Amino acid sequence: MLDKMIGKPIVLSSIFGSGGIMKNERTLVEGKILPTLVVFAVPFLLASILQALYGAVDLIVIGRFVDSASVSATAIGGQVMQTITGIVLGISTGGTVVIGQHVGAEKKRDAALAVGNLIALFAVIAVVLTIAMLIFTDSIVAIMKTPAEAVTHTARYITLCSMGIPFIVGYNGVSGVFRGFGDSKTPLYFVALACVINIGLDLLLVAVVGMGVAGAAIATVAAQAISFLAAVIYLMKKGIPVAFYKKDIGFSGGQALRILKIGSPIAVQDALVNVSFLIITAIINTMGLVASAAVGIDEKVIVFAMLVPTSFASAVAVMTAQNIGAGQMVRAKKSLWVGVALSFVFGMAVWIYCQFFPEVFPSLFSKDADVVYNAGLYLRNYTIDCMLVAFIFCVNSFFSGCGYSLFSLIHSLIATFGFRVPGSYVMSKIAGITLFEMGFVPPMASCVSIVLCLFYLKLGKGFRENEQEEKLEQL
């Protein structure tokens, strides 16, 4: 079956249809920036909404049909699995950027090698992450300071979800390939498929069969598996817009190292940021079951609130990569600021809404009045971060598209472990502290990142046209 997608050039129109890159695989380096960025970002956004939805459905269904201990377990387990997804997505972004740079430079043979290296790299990552998670599940539950009532449920949820890691890895790998070639629409279809399956199975296994946390985890893994298999079948049938051979799969041509060089800092950054969320969750877990469930719910709400800046940032990364490959640094910079502006407007709208109706979103996840009230307290100030990350996410993506993802890791580490985690710990020890005050910590940490990013943009190397020409020679 693999032979159907390899060994011969593929016509672009047979892959992407009328809405993709049928006529020109370099459309991201041409045309007006605003409409180009928006059109490319919308499929990212829709895919992100659906992906977040099928991740949140577990918590919503559990909150409606089971108890608060199960809500806490699902929230904690979901955060742990999000850490794994962040690692995978980071490496996938590295693959997208490398492929995108080759596409922009019209180096199709190198683009094919990048695809083959990404496949081999993700096969190794899938095995390593799955084994590691199955071995260390109990340790993770203990480190998280999981409330006693939720320990068993949390371990069961993480164990079952870990079975789906190969599918998470596989889906993100396939999506990275499509997006590197300028197709942000195809991944949307497979996320939609996963979402529909997960919702149906959640309602069946949790609400009807009564399997609780285990049912939610099984529904998630089943949805991931079916979505991944559908994506693989589609890729095998349609191929990619360059001549691709079976021998391209492996660690050849130095492409894997380039993918890791760009993707590893992003993966480590996402992983450590998610680890910081887990640490903060562990800190808040010491404040009791209600606080644990409330913050767990808010993390799900924030996932949705961050979808717009995340989607525009993803589009900025690909546009930057392709324009860097085409030698258009000025256009890449303009794409960055357009993405920041659009994301900021949405972030402000979210923050304003949550000042007046802070309990509306949390009430979707829980029927416990105390949990909903405390979640609303935390959300009012936490959502300030929705405006700040509009800048941070897009700048990080710009750095990554330029091949300078290491700085994104550095400033995130400083802000997260120098300010956010210590700040959360210190505030949690203050007598009479509530989640309202705790909600100020994330925005404070983001302000640190913004200052560092502005400094690097002003003084850092690699973002001036004459220096970029030298980088192009190395592509």
Question: Each residue of 261-301: pLDDT tens digit?
Answer: 777 777 776 777 667 777 777 787 777 778 878 887 887 78
Helix (H/G/I), strand (E/B), else coil: 11: coil
In a domain, 430, yes or no: yes
How far apart CA 407 and CA 316 sit, in angstroms, is 17
In a domain, 7, yes or no: no
Q: Are 138 and 155 in contact (CB under 8 A)?
A: yes
| Token digits of residue 452 | 């560092």
Domain residues for 148?
Answer: 34-465
In a domain, 146, yes or no: yes
In the chain, how many domains are there?
1
SS (H, E, C) 81-133: HHHHHHHHHHHHHHHHHHHHHHHHCCCHHHHHHHHHHHHHHHHHHHHHHHHHH
In a domain, 251, yes or no: yes
Helix (H/G/I), strand (E/B), else coil: 23: coil
In a domain, 27, yes or no: no
pLDDT in tens, 120-130: 898 999 999 99
pLDDT score at 102? 82
pLDDT score at 160? 92
356: region left, alpha or beta (phi > 0 left; psi from -120 to 50 alpha)? alpha
| Nearest Cα to Cα of residue 73 among 182, 155, 145, 15 | 155
46: region left, alpha or beta (phi > 0 left; psi from -120 to 50 alpha)? alpha
Q: Are 157 and 74 in contact (CB under 8 A)?
A: yes
How far apart CA 306 and CA 350 sit, in angstroms, is 9
Q: Give the residues of the chain that fall short of pLDDT 50.
A: 1-26, 461-462, 465-475
In a domain, 9, yes or no: no
Helix (H/G/I), strand (E/B), else coil: 7: coil
In a domain, 46, yes or no: yes
pLDDT score at 470? 43
How far apart CA 48 and CA 235 sit, in angstroms, is 20
In a domain, 147, yes or no: yes
Q: What angle do CA 51, 402, 41 make, to 5 degrees?
A: 30
CB atoms within 10 A of CB 227: 28
pLDDT score at 55? 65
pLDDT score at 140? 85
